[in-house]
Amino acid sequence: MVKKPRPLVELVATGRYLPERILTNQDLERMVDTSDEWIRERTGIRERRIAGPDEGAAFMGAEAARRAMAKAGVEPGEVDILVVSTATPDRWLPSTACDIQALIGASNAMAFDISAACPGWLFGLSVAEGYIAAGRGEIALVVATEKMSAIIDWEDRATCVLFGDGAGAGVLRRTSGDRGILSSHHKSDGTLANLLYRPAGGALVPMTHEVLDRKDHFVKMAGREVFKNAVRSMAEGADLALSRAGLTGADIDLLVPHQANLRIIDATAKYAGIPQEKVYVNVDRYGNMSSASIPVALDEALERKVVGPGSLVLAVAFGAGFTWSGMTLRL
Ligand code: ACO
């Protein structure tokens, strides 16, 4: 019998920002050799949001952060640690976290980015949890913000139909109560990095005319291999997060999975023994927003009162690296 863990931090509130522009599958039919039917059957996606030229990772992340802080009743100056997950920083230097810090006025925070692809928001929650648990601060802001449209080859039908833009955020606070993060499992396997990656554009192979011509600055993905690993790893994330909290799928009020592909979501829910009506799905409306997917889904679920204070949530994610996570939370 696993001893029920006591949470160290509570998720006080969440927020989200989604660009207004919608790109439908029908729009994509006019751009590449694809069909609405293929996209819906293979992925579950119908449309996705595309950020405008002024909507960068920092802008979207700051909007999501402001909304989360307003709901939490937290002033920017109270934030001790600001963690930002992004695979699409506005620029290499400084971090997107520092740009968000300046935009929202979180002047007392330590601000930095983490790079963990799709599970990045869950990685960020655990990093902030550890910081607070170590007694270094009281309040954390964890933001995930992704402008995936900027790193996608819009002529590659195998990838361009999958992704969308958006941002989500959560405010964490030290707690002595029974609501908050109950358990987590995070893992990475760098040996499989080249199954989902951007070959160039970093410091090793900087941007050149040749890189641009070869389109090596765009995301490359071995879809079928990624799919198989995603199903396996999300099952592991669900398994270990549940068992570490002394829970089973039957205890969970809502599964909030990473929104990459409806077939991966269904396989994860089935494995964890969670019925479809307890699975939050918005991949149909937003596509894969990488690390922003989970906080956006959680924020929507809270707003729609699918869950509320006291609900038990299981979040699971998988992404480039490979990286994967499972986490249980009592809201
Ligand atoms: N429209 C029409 N046909 C297409 C398209 C498209 N958009 N894309 C690929 N095809 C074709 C292929 O060319 C192929 O044709 P062929 O058989 O003649 O060669 C056929 O469809 C099948 O292609 P597959 O790639 O094998 O299709 P699959 O069923 O595997 O679905 C998909 C592809 C949706 C990408 C799937 O593999 C997948 O979801 N993978 C996981 C993605 C994921 O989870 N990513 C998460 C991490 S993302 C991150 O970390 C940023």
Distance of CA 129 to the CA centre of its chain: 17
Whether the CB of 243 sits within 6 Å of ligand 1:
no
Q: Which residue puts its alpha carbon closest to atom 33 of ligand 1?
A: 223
Q: Could you tell me the pLDDT band of residue 302, with boundaries at 50, 70 and 90?
A: very high
Q: What is the pLDDT of residue 1?
A: 57
Q: What is the pLDDT of residues 41-70, one digit of tens each?
A: 999 999 999 999 999 999 999 999 999 999
Report the pLDDT averaged over residues 271-284: 96
CB of 327 closer than 6 angstroms to any ligand 1 atom: no
Q: Which of 5-9, 144-148, 282-286 has the lowest mean pLDDT?
A: 5-9
Higher pLDDT, 3 or 278: 278
Q: Is the CB of 288 under 6 A from ligand 1?
A: yes
Question: What residue ranges in 118-226 does DSSP mark as E strands?
Answer: 139-147, 165-174, 180-188, 196-197, 220-221
CA of 224 to the centre of ligand 1 (A): 7
User: Does residue 2 surpass a pLDDT of 70?
Assistant: no
Which residue has its alpha carbon closest to ligand 1 atom 35?
223
The answer, yes or no, to whether residue 309 has pLDDT greater than 80, is yes
Q: Which band of pLDDT confidence, cut at 50, 70 and 90, is reported for residue 4?
A: confident
Query: What's the rounded mean pLDDT across residues 262-266?
Result: 97
Among residues 150, 174, 209, which one has the least CA distance to residue 19?
A: 150
Distance of CA 159 from the midpoint of ligand 1 (Å): 7
Question: What is the per-residue pLDDT across 203-235, written as a single tens digit (0 to 9) for each?
Answer: 999 999 999 999 999 999 999 999 999 999 999
Verify whether ligand 1 is closer than 6 Å to residue 158 (CB atom): yes
Query: How do residues 9-43 score in pLDDT, each as one tens digit?
Result: 999 999 999 999 999 999 999 999 999 999 999 99
pLDDT of residue 5: 81
How far apart CA 246 and CA 182 sit, in angstroms, is 10
Ligand 1 closest atom vs CA 87: 51
SS3 at position 30: coil
The total of other beta-carbon atoms located within 10 Å of residue 236's CB is 17
pLDDT at 55: 98
pTM of the model: 0.97
pLDDT over 90 at 138, yes or no:
yes
What's the pLDDT at 115?
97
Tokens in use for 264? 């991966």
Specify the pLDDT at position 109. 98
SS (H, E, C) 19-67: CCCEEEHHHHHCCCCCCHHHHHHHHCCCEEECCCCCCCHHHHHHHHHHH
